[in-house]
Amino acid sequence: MIHPDRITSTTCPYCGVGCNLELHVKDDFIYSVTSPFDAVVNQGNLCVKGRFGYDFIYSPQRVTTPMLRKSLQKPGMRTAAFDLNEWRQVSWDVALDYTADRLVEIYQRDGSDALAVYCCAKATNEDNYLLQKMFRALFRSNNVDHCTRLCHAGSVVALLKSLGSSAMSNTASEVIHSDCFIVTGSNTTENHPIIALQMKAAVRKHGARLIVIDPRRIELCDYATLWLPLKPGTNVAVFAAMAHVIIKEGLVNRDFVAARTFGYEEFARSIEKFTPEYAEMVSGVDRNLIVEAARMYARAERGAIYWGMGISQLSQGTASALGLIHLALLTGHIGRKGTGLNPLRGQNNVQGASDAGAMPFHYPGYMEVDNEANARAWEAAWNVEPGGLSRKRGLTTTEILSHAHPGGVRALYIMGENPMMTEPNLNLTRQHMQELEFLVAQDIFINESGAFADVFLPATSWAEKEGTFTNTDRRVQRVRPAIAPRGESRPDWQIICDLARRIERRLGRPNSAGWDYTSPEQVFREMANTATMLKGVTYARIEKVGLQYPVPDENHPGTPFLFSENFPSGRGRFFTVEYIPVAEPPDDEYPLILTTGRLLEHWHGGSMTRNSLLDELYPEAQLELHEVDAAHFGIQDGSPVRVYSRRGSVVVRARISPKANPGVVFLPMHFAEAAANLLTIDVLDKEAKIPEFKACAVGVQIAQEEELHNPAVRTERGRY
């Protein structure tokens, strides 16, 4: 038995559950991961990623030395460089001086609109706060965003519009106190496995009734009282029909609606046409199931709703999320334990990155950038002259690259994100990347996006740095270094501060915004002093157990559930409902609907899990389809197929699956050599600017085995 030199407590770097980890270290090497049974979030449970997926930090593909591209990249001519021979190693001083020179040059020549930054949902709160501060305080640009734009932007916009708060309202573990709960657009057992354990316990041990609303027969259907198998993109019609039933059958919580909402009468009129019969015609869900689900949820004493990206990743993502909000407001299932509106956040710190201001419309704490009082507050905090910060809303993630052209965005700074895997319509994304004049990648691997960069700045992994993550429950938790940084890699916050000081000197504003931090704790205090929902959170208070914001002062115990008395907006607001079909329905040429998502064994763009032994568990992409569709197209289980859309094609193995519904196929998003986003459509939700990842028209045809294994074909398909 190996006896560790030390055990370091930290927080998992994968999904938004925020499981507590213990890293067992011997001779500066992490050899195992456990979790304490008294851990408040996960009670000692870990999924396969949390327990075994840490070895990516030792991958031979990891880059731990600053590097510059050997060849000068010209706009329109930018190419990908995965081969390290195309790069040259340099010192930190050379890399940071060059980065500062080029960013300042472009800023002084073209102005603040020419610069943009992708912050990172995998990085800490402190990292994200500093990076958005650098671009706002030094370059006066609000072109700041991160992957929330690609996952829950529709949910964020809907919650802010209706309630004035964008976060999950309750604690996931409260599901055991629910009488009835809805899970929709979330394959929870694979994407949030520990929360799924709590959901299963709610059904098995506590008698809760579960309603699953999803196009696929996910594992939770085995625990559900009802499964509503809707067609992708028809969420609005189904939720509106449930609201129709609740209103027509007198199941509305009239006291709650009268006391705590407005807009009900106009909303009720707009619901008239959304009968269960209409919803059945649109969605394919049996009208009787819709009626039964509405009654079950409305009659519960404590009803809760949990949802994932199957709700938000649509051109009507905001409307889909509003449909769920309407159900909670109609029934009063919010503001109490075991109730609420609970978007399950996909990445370890997507909630915290949003809280820290990594968005184009908001400073930290969701303070709108075009509000004069908010801008003045941050000018004071950052020692920026009055009127110095921009009051103009910036570009979103999905807009930044489309503005990469002369007169638009010329320089892009990417920390830990990978748009060449996560943006829709990747062939078009590649063209936009090629139009950039200057690109910086700050990461641990040269991924599909970093391969286009001019400068690579090697960061440490989560196990080599300090800071905080905020999980999907709004719980701020500690991240601690267990081992020394590999090679010359540095923590993100130190890289940003060192670069910011150089930029300040070149701009003639030495130390104006204060970049001489001595620790991440000091960074957090600066953020929390103005973003007051975090004001009572201190490193000392979360030494052992995290705190759920809002925490207005240091005596406050945290807030497990929100809205017990009122909403930040005062009253919850109903909105009129309109159903608009998906942008690209199937037709004779493209007869199937493609939906995309994640797998248990992998995560997001794959840069971590595919550089881990986890890749051996699920080493290649597979197209999941129903046996009826397989028979129609003459496809055998395991055979190669080409999946094609109007934007591109990939070759993968077919998997005939009981999860699939006829007419709907599923492709995971993790595999660069068969990137699902080569197929997806780049139409956006008009309000949230989130793409329609969950529904586009595709066709399938039988392919040849050599198309799967031919390196040239794989390079053409995946490594651009």
For 500-540, the DSSP string reads HHHHHHHHT-TTSS----SSHHHHHHHHHHHSGGGTT--TT
Can you tell me whether residue 28 is helix, strand or coil? coil
Q: Which residues of the chain have pLDDT under 50?
A: 711-720
Cis peptide before 550 (omega within 30 of 0): yes
Distance of alpha carbon 460 from alpha carbon 438, whole angstroms = 23
CB 242 within 8 A of CB 234: no
Return the structure tokens found at 603. Answer: 């995560």
Distance (Å) of CA 151 to CA 83, 119, 364, 368: 31, 14, 19, 21
- For residue 605 the two structure tokens come to 């763009």
3-state SS of 409-435 is: CCEEEEECCCHHHHCCCHHHHHHHHHH
User: In terms of C-beta density within 10 A (0-12 exposed, 13-18 middle, 19 or more buried), how is residue 480 classed?
Assistant: middle
Distance CA 706, CA 146 (A): 38
Q: How far apart are CA 116 and CA 106, in angstroms?
A: 11
The whole-angstrom separation of Cα 280 and Cα 497 is 56
Q: In terms of DSSP bridges, do strands 649-656 and 547-548 run parallel, antiparallel, or are they unpaired?
A: unpaired
424: Cβ–Cβ under 8 A, 6 or more apart, which residues?
398, 677, 680, 681, 682, 691, 692, 693
In sequence order, the 6+-apart residues with CB closer than 8 A to the CB of 647 are 425, 427, 428, 678, 679, 680, 681
3-class secondary structure, 439: strand
Count the neighbouring beta carbons within 10 Å of the beta carbon of residue 109.
10
Among 641, 716, 616, which Cα is nearest to 675's?
A: 716
Spatial separation of the C-alpha atoms in residues 404 and 406, rounded to whole Å? 7
Specify burial of residue 406 (Cβ count, 10 A radius: 0-12, 13-18, 19+): exposed
The C-alpha angle 24, 27, 30, rounded to 5 degrees, equals 35
Number of Cβ within 10 Å of residue 614's Cβ equals 24
Cα separation of the two ends of the chain: 46
Maximum Cα interatomic distance, the chain, rounded to a whole number of Å: 71
Residue whose pair of structure tokens reads 């910011």 in the numeric block = 500
32: β partners: 24
- CATH numbers and ranges of domains, the chain: 6-58 (2.20.25.90), 67-150+349-548 (3.40.50.740), 153-343 (3.40.228.10), 592-717 (2.40.40.20)
Note the Cα 548 to chain centre separation in Å: 19
**Token pair belonging to 358:** 């990594």
pLDDT score of 714: 36
The per-residue b/e assignment along 187-201, b for 16 or more CB within 10 angstroms, e otherwise, is: bbbbbbbbbbbbbbe
Cα(122)–Cα(16) distance, integer angstroms: 10
Query: How many residues are there in the chain?
Result: 720
Cβ(356)–Cβ(469) below 8 Å: no
- The whole-number pLDDT of residue 709 equals 63
Confidence at residue 72, expressed as pLDDT on a 0 to 100 scale: 78
The two three-digit tokens of residue 171, written as one number: 């604690």
